[in-house]
Amino acid sequence: MDHGIRKTGWIYSELYNWHDTGSYNMLWAPDLTTQPGQHVENADSKRRFANLVDVSALADDLVRIKPRPATDDEILRFHTPTHISHLEGLCASGGGEAGGKTHVGRASFDIARLAVGGVLEAVDAVIKGAVDNAYVLCRPPGHHAEAELVTGFCLLANGVLGVEHARAVHGLKRIVVLDWDVHHGNSAETAFYDDPDVLTISLHQDNLFPQGRGKASDTGGASAQGANMNIPLPPGSGSGAYRYAFDSVVLPAIEQFGPDMIFVASGFDAAAMDPLGHMMLSSEDYRYMTERLLQVADKCCGGRIVATHEGGYSPGYVPYCGLAVIEALSGASAKITDPFLDYIANYGAQELQSHQKTQIDAVASAHILKQAAE
Ligand SMILES: [Zn+2]
């Protein structure tokens, strides 16, 4: 067994794959125009990620933690009773469109409870020191769900509920939520916009989804100026842009904030082969972001990181990106090489482009000015 340098919790259940999003026209095509296909948010990329971990040398090295269903009280720390009854009622009647291109099946709400409960178990394990960090490969995703809003394939706000659990049950004070999914992390932004104790950072493709959200000028409410950071990146951003944003903006902001714990909304739809995103990241870029984040986490909060799985729709490539993150979190080797790495690294314009640098620098100066004005 190849022990890593850290104990990494691995929270996953086959039941996550049984959230049935059905057959659906992807995404906006009306009926009787193009042939319906499988909903883009289906189990495939997640199950393949878990399977790659299982056949790799990491399989025996992770600390497997069983998810449990979250209770109503735990869900109500952010959502409303109306939200719960809407989803429970729809599932009980057999499922259907729950809002915002988000389909549910009969068991979907029970599985959504299990996704939230997986995050809560991960938080408990990390804070109690049973593991150093944890990855929750849960489904349905959560980083678009708001208090009473189902959208973007998300039913319950898995990550937000993890933050609230860490505060309510464990008394943590200052928390960072870093969202590297290619879509904007509107769930955490909305939940904590006026909260100076939670720094929310979203790196995303400029105005991809939800449109109109994720602007660089949205820097937090009046009582929490600077505690929300949006880094919208132009389509076509690759390794250079993401690494520059990470090193010049994301990491300094986290270090300055000084969190007790870091949550990552870990989507892999900024990867080069994703059908919904238009970015060019490789598994090595996800490894880089994870390793750099761990360095800052070590300084700030004893390395405490809980990553929750979000988007990522390439069944072929999500597994390799995910494996790189797990390798970085655990410090162990999976002894598997990403077969797409050289191909993606050779794409044109992987290095930082001037229009990307301009956009990232603008975020940095906005936040430096805010801090100086305090
Ligand atoms: Zn996404």
pLDDT tens for 171-222 read: 999 999 999 999 999 999 999 999 999 999 999 999 999 999 999 999 999 9
Nearest of 119, 334, 15, 374 to residue 227 by alpha carbon: 374
Q: Using the mean position of ligand 1's atoms as its centre, give its distance from the Cα of residue 269 in Å.
A: 6
φ, ψ dihedrals at 332, nearest 5° = -105, 160
Positive or negative, the CA dihedral 40, 44, 48, 49 is positive
How many angstroms separate the alpha carbon of residue 205 from the centre of ligand 1?
Answer: 10
Residue with tokens 């009280």: 73
By percentage, how much of the chain surpasses pLDDT 90? 90
pLDDT band at residue 371, thresholds of 50, 70 and 90?
low
Alpha carbon of 134 to ligand 1 centroid (Å): 20
Higher-pLDDT residue of 310 and 99 is 310
Per-residue pLDDT for 125 more than 70? yes
What residues are labeled active site? 144
Question: For the segment 226-285, what is each residue's pLDDT rounded down to a tens digit?
Answer: 999 999 999 999 999 999 999 999 999 999 999 999 999 999 999 999 999 999 999 999
What one-character DSSP code corresponds to residue 70? P
Mean pLDDT score across all residues of the chain? 95
Tokens of 295: 């360095």
Task: Specify the pairing of strand 175-179 against strand 261-266.
Answer: parallel
**62: cis peptide before it, omega within 30°?**
no
**In which band, very low, low, confident or very high, does the pLDDT at 23 lie, cut at 50, 70 and 90?**
confident
Which has more pLDDT, 147 or 99? 147
Question: pTM (2 decimals)?
Answer: 0.97
Rg (CA), the chain: 19
Q: What's the gap in Å between 182 CA and the centre of ligand 1? A: 5
Distance CA(294)–CA(281), nearest Å, equals 19
Tell me, what amino acid is at 29?
A
- Residue 101: pLDDT band (50, 70, 90) is confident
Q: How far apart are CA 297 and CA 250, in angstroms?
A: 12
| Widest Cα–Cα separation across the chain | 57
> Ligand 1 centre and the CA of 228: distance in Å?
19
